[in-house]
């Protein structure tokens, strides 16, 4: 079978982007518990997935419109809630005898606090809805031009909202060390890294829009 990705229908391309978007959000919450070393910073593995979500919303907003992407955000929020509830049920259910020894490790990996989950979903909804609104706002101001500018202006502010809301709700006063000043020492390095990733994804945003936009019919042969 000869599969050319450029010949996939717009509907299937859109579905693929939606699946990647929702998967990236859910994975960010699962693998985000792992902290890795990146130069002088300790960062969550989830940080690599978050820019993908903003990239996809901007591509879809450019081609499919604000309403379409808003529906995707709310559907993904529901998927996040469903995933969290099912993970909690999986933790509470008594394991089979052959899994008893492995159950503590399973619980340790998946036992995220309700506070972190609430922080994650609130930050996700507010930042993504802001990104959609800001992208549309700048699209109107620029009369549909300067996609690179609209992409980056909306994403850079939305990433700040996402990072600030999540860290404050998840960790503020978790211990006396986590005071207002310490929160910003966590937020700023994460935010700077997210800005760098957002700027680097600009070429992929253009490629994504070009890939998703239906090609106009060319030549009389296609009308026969």
144-163: pLDDT as tens digits: 999 999 999 999 999 999 99
Task: Judge whether residue 214 has pLDDT over 90.
Answer: no
Structure tokens at 136: 């549309």
Q: Where are the domains of the chain?
A: 9-95+107-213
**Closest to 47 (Cα-Cα) out of 200, 193, 201, 199:** 193
pLDDT of residue 126: 96
Query: What are the CA-CA distances from residue 162 to residues 16, 130, 191, 206 (Å)?
Result: 24, 10, 9, 24
| pTM reported for the whole predicted model | 0.85
Return the C-alpha torsion angle 39, 42, 46, 51, nearest 10. -50
pLDDT of residue 76: 96
Task: Judge whether residue 219 has pLDDT over 70.
Answer: no
- d(CA 156, CA 153) in angstroms, rounded, equals 5
Strand locations in 82-215, DSSP E?
Answer: none
pLDDT of residue 40: 80
Between the two ends of the chain, the Cα-to-Cα distance in Å is 27
Asked if residues 165 and 122 have their Cβ atoms less than 8 Å apart, the reply is yes
* Per-residue model confidence as pLDDT tens digits over 107-132: 888 887 788 889 999 999 999 999 99
pLDDT of residue 221: 42
* Per-residue model confidence as pLDDT tens digits over 20-67: 999 999 999 888 888 888 888 888 888 899 889 999 999 999 999 999
Mean pLDDT of the 208-220 span: 76
- Domain 9-95+107-213: which CATH number of 1.10.287, 1.10.1760, 1.10.3470, 3.30.160: 1.10.1760
pLDDT of residue 222: 40
* Per-residue model confidence as pLDDT tens digits over 175-185: 889 999 999 99
* Per-residue model confidence as pLDDT tens digits over 93-107: 999 999 999 999 998
Task: Judge whether residue 218 has pLDDT over 80.
Answer: no
pLDDT of residue 114: 81
Mean pLDDT of the 64-82 span: 95
């Amino acid at each position: 079978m000869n599969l050319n990705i450029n010949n996939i229908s717009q509907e299937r391309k859109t579905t693929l982007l939606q699946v990647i978007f929702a998967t990236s959000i859910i994975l960010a919450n699962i693998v985000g518990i792992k902290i890795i070393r990146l130069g002088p910073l300790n960062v969550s593995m989830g940080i690599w997935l978050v820019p993908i979500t903003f990239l996809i919303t901007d591509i879809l907003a450019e081609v499919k419109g604000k309403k379409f992407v808003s529906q995707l955000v709310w559907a993904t929020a529901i998927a996040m809630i469903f995933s969290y509830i099912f993970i909690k049920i999986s933790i509470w259910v008594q394991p089979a005898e052959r899994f008893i020894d492995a159950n503590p490790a399973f619980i340790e990996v998946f036992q995220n606090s309700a506070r972190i989950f609430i922080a994650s979903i609130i930050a996700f909804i507010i930042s993504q809805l802001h990104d959609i609104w800001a992208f549309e706002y700048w699209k109107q101001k620029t009369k549909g031009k300067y996609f690179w500018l609209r992409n980056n202006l909306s994403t850079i502010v939305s990433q700040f909202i996402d990072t600030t809301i999540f860290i404050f709700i998840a960790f503020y006063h978790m211990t006396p060390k986590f005071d207002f000043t310490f929160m910003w020492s966590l937020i700023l390095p994460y935010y700077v890294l997210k800005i760098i990733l957002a700027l680097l994804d600009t070429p992929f945003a253009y490629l994504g829009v070009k890939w998703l936009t239906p090609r106009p019919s060319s030549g009389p042969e296609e009308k026969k």
